[in-house]
Structure 1
């Protein structure tokens, strides 16, 4: 686990929330932090499995309780799984922490009513997987880094590759076409076109 308490370590597999909303929580930062730690301790006791390597990651530092990015990611190891519960829905750090507390409490409810196998299945959704390795646009376009690249040359190569990668083409797929489109955007941005 490469998570750190500061600055915020957000899992690559979880999207960010662009528009924050106000919450109805009335919990102060210190109380929300205590709630998260307490609910994880109770969850550990309920499940009979230790919660290890706990890291509560945010952009809060001494003197800065209202960072521009209020997201919180709680990283830990449970039952052999690297887990991350990350919330950035709310405009305040303490509200995102309190939401994580409620998420853990929901797992405790699952434990009481469904058992350990239900919680394991749920936590697989929170499993902190490494980000997939992305290929560079040069690799996708098969461009030698020593040759100058022009917008016209990229467009020509794009059209040729799109014929092969399009989902309607034999051997093509939606994922292959998406990768090509992202590579084209990155290429045009890099060369300033």
Structure 2
């Protein structure tokens, strides 16, 4: 499958999206305080570590820009699309797995939901259901990531489908500053992808 990106969000093909108006405010806490993105990421990594998956074999995909280690960076504004998808591969002999959540309106809470789900599934193994656990995780085998031309423009730009012209242009400028071919880690392919997404979004509003 095509390698999923850490940023922007690579939502797995075939996974249903939660409409923005149905997303909820979560109640996840960390030591009695509001959860941070760092807390959410660490919970996911800890649960996968307990399943024998090393951090180097995990991709946390969100619409938050990443740190140097590739994990989502805290202290950013809330993205238009707070969905998260965690991809992992325990060994080269096993298929890549993924788990995607966009039920809540904050990235950190969707990360915590992934971690809570992993913890619940891990409890199956603790109670002697290793074979059941393996079959359960088979259902999380990652489908091929959609090709760049097949991704919705708002997903590429990290926006909602009803984003207005200014939001589209603002998101495009921010991404262009990051993926421009002259920037480290940028490329002509990524730049073309966000340009195509911008044009598709503006076309919706009748703007060239």
Report if the CA contact (8 A) 1:13-1:128 is conserved: no
Identify the structure with bigger relative contact order (alpha carbons < 8 Å, sequence gap 6+): 2
Max Rg structure: 1
- Give per-residue Cα distances to partners, 1:50-91, cap 9 Å, x unaligned: 676310000012663410000000001136021000000000
TM-score w.r.t. structure 1 length?
Answer: 0.61
What corresponds to 2:97 in structure 1?
Answer: 83
TM norm structure 2: 0.57
1:84–1:93 distance in 2 versus 1, CA, 3 Å: same
1:67 maps to 2:75: no
**2:55, 2:138 → 1: CA distance?**
15
Distance in 1 (CA, whole Å) between partners of 2:122 and 2:96 is 18
Query: Structure 1 pair 69/115, CA: closer, same or farther in 2 (3 Å)?
Result: same
**CA positional deviation for 1:131:** 6.7
Structure 2, unmatched stretches of 5+, are 30-34, 66-72, 148-208
How far apart, in 1, do the equivalents of 2:77 and 2:120 lie? 27
Select 2:40's aligned residue among 11, 24, 32: 32
2:16 corresponds to 1:15 = yes
Q: Distance in 2 between matches of 1:73 and 1:42?
A: 19
Q: How large is the RMSD of aligned CA atoms in angstroms?
A: 2.3
Deviations 1:23-42 (A, max 9, x none): 11122211111111111101
- What are the ranges of 5 or more consecutive residues in structure 1 without an aligned counterpart? 134-193
Distance 1:50 1:117 in 2: 21
User: Helix, strand or coil: the match of 2:127?
Assistant: helix
